[in-house]
Amino acid sequence: MRLINVNGLETESGLKIEELSGDKIRSYAILSHTWGKEEVTLQEMDQTYKMRRKVIGRMHGLNHAWVDTCCIDKTSSAELSEAINSMYQWYLKARVCYVFLADVTSMDDFANSQWFTRGWTLQELIAPKEMIFYNKYWEKLGTKQTLWKEIEARTGIPASALERKQNLERISIAQKMSWAANRCTSKPEDRAYSLLGLFDINMPLLYGEGEKAFIRLQEELMKAYGDPSILVWASKYENHGGLLATSPDAFEGSRNIEMVPIPHTIRERPWTVDNKGVHLNIPLLPVGHAGLVLGILCGIGQFGGDTIGIFLQDESYHGWVFHRAWSDRYKEIENGAYFRANFPTKEVCVPQPRLAATGTPTSRDNTATEIFDIDYLTFIWMSSWEAWERRMSRPGPQPLDRSNMKRFLQALDIGDILSARELLDKEPSIMMCSDSNGRALLSCTAGNGNVRIVWMILVRLMRYGIGVNDKCDQGRTPLSYAAAGGHIEVIWLLCNWNGIDLYAPDKQGLTPWSHAVREGRKEVIEFLLAQPQCDRYMVDASGRTLLSHAVECGRGEVLELLLQRTSESYLRLKDHQGLSALDWGDLWCFRNSTICE
């Protein structure tokens, strides 16, 4: 560490640079300022006394001072990297920090100083224990302790952080990032590098990488901390679909995000970052068309209260690769504990797009996907006592008004969502009703394919604590009817809803996927094969493989797909009748040849 020996300030010997290390580094003063036109470099230090008006360490009886402009050899990339990674500690260990505000004459100008807009001065403000502010004439304005109200109002940094009364590690990443919003640096990479000390992160400097530096910083933060607030940002300019922002400016609205000590949350589960993106376990709440979900970031909240959700989208319906949707917002969620208990935690991957040559990520189509009536989720919130009361008063098998059931089915046929909702609110017991084929309301709606009405019913069933796997007279479930009808959006919604049995066989032993194969729903089988651990669904309760159903029903496209994506062993696997897919193929050929004759 280079320090200026100020003992020669008033003598002919002048100021001298000394290089000290370890125990030889004694108490020193440190300067914080914005660079001007007359800055002194290390090479000029022996030839000029311009620092005479700036270095006033002797006022505190100190022999040494540190100034970034002349104590770092910026011609050496190695020394510059070491200095940037160490700078926060240098300010932290300084006996006193002098802040020189070159554009301030009085306290009337204090909040408007350029010093508050620079990226590097953020850590210089927080790290020192003792800090004295001076105007352009080197007249004292006050200290960090006496000016905390003005500083807090200007920067948004709470007094507890300014005065080091609060452990910075207990402050959420999002909140600390908000302090860096709307600050500028001469080089774009320094937006990230100037935050290394604040987050206690070390990483190599790669000038020329542009905004990639800030993404690298966030990746390092995800490796070092389990704080999901790093994902709580909003920016209308960042529609690249990744989880990580490209600038601290995206965290401007995250000033009130606090960490909440909630057990069994995403903070306790590992997440990893690799070349495919960010992998994490997160509770997912389906909320809209085209695979739109709300990812619940547990353990954080506004003012330490409600938890936060971010919008993710599984456009391919594969169920594990998502993109950030609606990156200009996030959603407050009341009673996050209830949602964690009622929605499955899934392992998902969110790719982080590479930056283009311009230094910005490739943009995606950020057209707003239609969202369901998410405000209705407020009705789901319930205390344990309210839940008990609702269970006791939930709709039962009492006589039903069949006219309402008929009206609902008519609304379902024409897609009249408003009428369907009105009927569900007016007569919730309609959900326990069956049509002439013995199908429950959810099965009727799933077979129809109206995903929004399916969602409305699922929300209400959850509210009343009613199961979602009710079977019809044939033993078929809502998922079975959706799969047979080829309704991918409904299938995706049901597969991502808590409590849905993805295997549930009917009275003949056929699973939802068996019905999909028999109906020739190639897109449904493509969806199934894209799911993790799809092998468990290749054989139904009758012992028959999906291949055998495809062969029996002559579903060539489905058969070809299954042969490409599954093991050949399924061809010879025998069912409970002792028949394999090859045997069913022989029967199919015999049957068709007989018909032709």
Neighbours of 510 (CB within 10 A): 24
Indicate whether 53 pLDDT > 50.
no
| Comparison of pLDDT for 592 and 211, the residue scoring more | 211
| pLDDT on residue 271 | 84
Backbone angles phi, psi at 38, to 5 degrees: -110, 35
Indicate whether 597 pLDDT > 80.
no
Work out the average pLDDT over 180-195. Answer: 94
| Comparison of pLDDT for 455 and 7, the residue scoring more | 455
| pLDDT on residue 14 | 60
Domains parsed from the chain with CATH numbers? 2-166 (no CATH), 248-372 (no CATH), 382-501 (1.25.40.20), 528-597 (1.25.40)
Indicate whether 383 pLDDT > 50.
no
| pLDDT on residue 357 | 43
Q: pLDDT of 313-335, one tens digit each?
A: 987 777 788 999 888 888 887 66
Least confident segment among 95-109, 121-135, 383-397, 439-453 = 383-397
The band of 187, judged by pLDDT with boundaries at 50, 70 and 90, is very high
| pLDDT on residue 344 | 73
Indicate whether 136 pLDDT > 60.
yes
Work out the average pLDDT over 35-63. Answer: 51
pTM of the full structure: 0.81
Tell me which residue has tokens 């109002």: 153
| DSSP of 14-40 | --EEEE--GGG----EEEEE---TTPP
Indicate whether 214 pLDDT > 90.
yes
Rounded CA gap, 532 and 484, in Å? 21
| CB-based contacts of 497-503 (< 8 A; 24+ apart in sequence) | 497/286, 497/343, 497/344, 497/458, 497/468, 498/342, 498/343, 498/344, 498/462, 499/467, 499/468, 499/469, 500/468, 500/469, 501/469, 501/477, 502/537, 503/536, 503/537, 503/541
| pLDDT on residue 45 | 45
Indicate whether 348 pLDDT > 70.
yes
Residue 481 tokens read as 């009817």
Whose CA is closest to 433, among 451, 445, 421?
445
Query: How many angstroms from the chain centroid is the CA of residue 551?
Result: 44
Q: pLDDT of 141-178, one tens digit each?
A: 999 999 999 999 999 999 999 988 778 888 999 999 99
| pLDDT on residue 401 | 60
